[in-house]
Amino acid sequence: MSDTTHNEESIKESISFIEAFIKEDIKAGKVESHVCTRFPPEPNGYLHIGHAKAICMDFGMARKYNGQCNLRFDDTNPTKEDVEYVDSIKEDIHWLGFDWGKNEFFASDYFPRLFDFAKDLISRGLAYVDDQSAAEIAAQKGTPSEPGTESPYRSRSAEECLDLFERMNKGEFAEGSRVLRAKVDMSSPNMHMRDPIIYRIIKTPHHRTGENWKVYPMYDFAHGQSDYFEGITHSLCTLEFEVHRPLYNWFIDQLMDGSYRPRQIEFNRLNLTYTVMSKRKLLQLVEEGYVSGWDDPRMPTIAGMRRRGYTPRSIRNFVDKIGYTKVEAINDVSLLEHSVRDDLNKIAPRVNVVMNPLKVVITNYPEDKVEMMRIINNPEDETAGSREVPFSREIYIEREDFMEDPPKKFFRMGPGREVRIKGAYIVKCEDYKKDPETGEILEVYCTYDPETRSGLPGSNRKVKGLLHYVSVNHCVDVDVRLYDRLFMDVDPLGHKDKDFLEFINPDSLVLKTACKAEPSLMMAKPLDVFQFQRVGYFNVDPDSSSDKLIFNRTVALKDSWGKMQNPK
RNA sequence: UGUCCCAUGGUGUAAUGGCAGCACUCCGGUUUUUGGUACCGUCAGUCAAGGUUCGAGUCCUUGUGGGACAACCA
């Protein structure tokens, strides 16, 4: 017997460039005690699949290197933020399978220290109060290719600045009338270094600190310092912050008292084809009523995906597969859906559901007879057991499983053809009734072969077609709402200046379909996911009222999906 | 007309300077009481030109293409 483990050992683990940096830093002794990362959402919306990528990295590195990952709410702009979002963010991170323990922080916790640091910069001549308007400041900022010019207030005395800054915070001045700026370099080729604004006056109450403050720090003045206060070793963020890094480091240079400094490393943001990822646009969908809320099953939010039946593991696996690089990538949604199917396939019980019923009468089957047929719940998982499904003289099959004049490649029911009814008998189509006006098929008449009942030796006969069914007298109506993803006609990077709402695929709108279900489905609980035979994966919507089940389509099966995309 | 970042099949992602591999997609086949799953296979790639080197996807130079940055957003 050969030992197969050597194969696994010889497969080199491929790690991201970020992890390589972390390993380097550990080796170089730059990490004093343990790796410390942070996930820093602004509580101004729900988390979406893009955040999941950051969460997996931030918490993943901490977990792998026995470190810690702090949850820090970047709540420096009270005009946009709300506690509702704080709660949803925490729930979603937990659901994804990560935990920050006691390490929950708010940038607003650091307002006093940041305020003191700002005053310190003022007294050291490194910050000043500017009385100019936003337009004037912008004009002096120059352009990326031309240097800026210095503000007339740049040389204002520290005493005066200190006094004004304190009074700004007491509410003596109107919003927009004065700002505090860091004195860096107006001619820097990096726009962010041209005397960035670090404090502005905002009189909207803050969701945590109320009316304690009238001035609030800007992102650049809060983020790095917060990292420093918390002992973050690796501050991982997305590519667009790359140009902020020199400023991040500049503030830490002014702040640091020891050798420790956090290191900012940037990686690529997640983009998905046909998927709206911008928080601003998702907010618009919610506010303008295009969807029922942030957790609408069509939304690419974590909450929406949860309600739609995606599993946390499938999202983590997906993130694993797309990797972390510095390339601006557009990931194909089919990889996400593959990850979901891959996971669901192993765990989802199969059920017979007929979406669009066509009645089949088994003419040689006794009128009152009912047989309970035993059907495997999940061929991928023996432990999932089996269930009994009633079979009788009259059954429904899927309307699309019958064709009057079937082409060669059609393996299902047609005049004179034999097909197997799943878990029951092989039947032969003898005749059918058609509406002469509309051409609609009304009923199909079959005969069954009693020797071919599943489990009997006679059932070993090869038959091409296999149809799922429900018994007419035993089935129950349920509502199915076919939620599909919110589609866009364009790639996520290509629609910047257009009104994206135009691109919502009308097929994604809610459908209500009466369908026939087998009794076992009626035991379902909210969020349970099933595979509807040959149709797709569906889950019970948590919003279902007690007397009726509503299903969300999680993902379609592979082939049906293609059919939906290109209906003939 | 600035600074910074990036460039590997259709898509995403690997390769101490040493045989360009993996996954998804598409297409084809085998198995199957799901047109599902599983398994097998086909097609398909290092942006360009120089240079260093025994040897370059990798290092250097130049070019080309894409992106970020001119919010009192994060």
Condensed to tens digits (0 to 9), the pLDDT of residues A286-321 reads: 998 888 899 998 899 999 999 999 999 999 999 999
pLDDT digits (tens, 9 = 90+) for A254-289: 997 767 899 999 999 999 998 888 888 899 889 988
Q: What is the pLDDT of residue A370?
A: 96
Pairing of strands A426-434, A418-421: antiparallel
Task: Flag whether pLDDT at A253 surpasses 50.
Answer: yes
**Residues shown for chain A:** 568
3-class DSSP state of A85: helix
pLDDT digits (tens, 9 = 90+) for A100-118: 999 999 999 999 999 999 9
Task: Flag whether pLDDT at A439 surpasses 80.
Answer: yes
Q: What is the pLDDT of residue A490?
A: 52
pLDDT digits (tens, 9 = 90+) for A460-516: 998 989 999 999 999 888 777 767 666 665 555 554 444 455 555 544 445 556 677
Contacts of A536 (CB under 8 A, 6+ apart): A553, A554, A555, A556, A557, A560, A561
Give me Rg for the CA atoms of chain A. Answer: 31
Spatial distance from the CA of A81 to the C1' of B11 (Å): 36
Residues 167-196 of A with CB under 7 A from strand B: 175-179, 189-192
Q: What is the pLDDT of residue A242?
A: 96
Q: What is the pLDDT of residue A493?
A: 56
Spatial distance from the CA of A130 to the C1' of B2 (Å): 26
Task: Flag whether pLDDT at A222 surpasses 90.
Answer: yes
- As a whole number of angstroms, the distance between CA A151 and CA A145 comes to 19
CB distance A481 to A551 below 8 Å? yes
Which two three-digit tokens encode residue A491?
């790639």
Longest distance between any two alpha carbons in chain A, whole Å: 102
pLDDT digits (tens, 9 = 90+) for A62-101: 999 999 999 999 999 999 999 999 999 999 999 999 999 9
Spatial distance from the CA of A9 to the C1' of B55 (Å): 28
Residues 62-101 of A with CB under 7 A from strand B: 74, 76-77, 79-80
Residues 280-339 of A with CB under 7 A from strand B: 321-332, 334-335, 338
CB distance A478 to A551 below 8 Å? yes
A428 touches strand B (CB under 7 A): no
pLDDT, chain A, mean: 89
Spatial distance from the CA of A65 to the C1' of B6 (Å): 29
pLDDT digits (tens, 9 = 90+) for A334-369: 999 999 999 999 999 999 999 889 999 999 999 999
How would you class A5 by CB atoms within 10 Å of its CB: exposed for 0-12, middle for 13-18, buried for 19 or more? exposed
Q: What is the pLDDT of residue A424?
A: 97
3-class DSSP state of A101: coil
A409 touches strand B (CB under 7 A): yes
For residue A492, list its beta bridge partners: none
- As a whole number of angstroms, the distance between CA A359 and CA A567 comes to 24
Task: Flag whether pLDDT at A566 surpasses 50.
Answer: no
From the list A63, A541, A464, A22, the residue with the least C-alpha distance to A297 is: A541
Q: Residue A345, Cα to own-chain centre: how many angstroms?
A: 20
Of the two residues A48 and A564, the one the predictor is more confident about is A48
Of the two residues A544 and A11, the one the predictor is more confident about is A544
A451 touches strand B (CB under 7 A): no
Handedness of CA A230, A231, A234, A235 (dihedral sign): positive
* Residue A42 annotated to the active site: yes
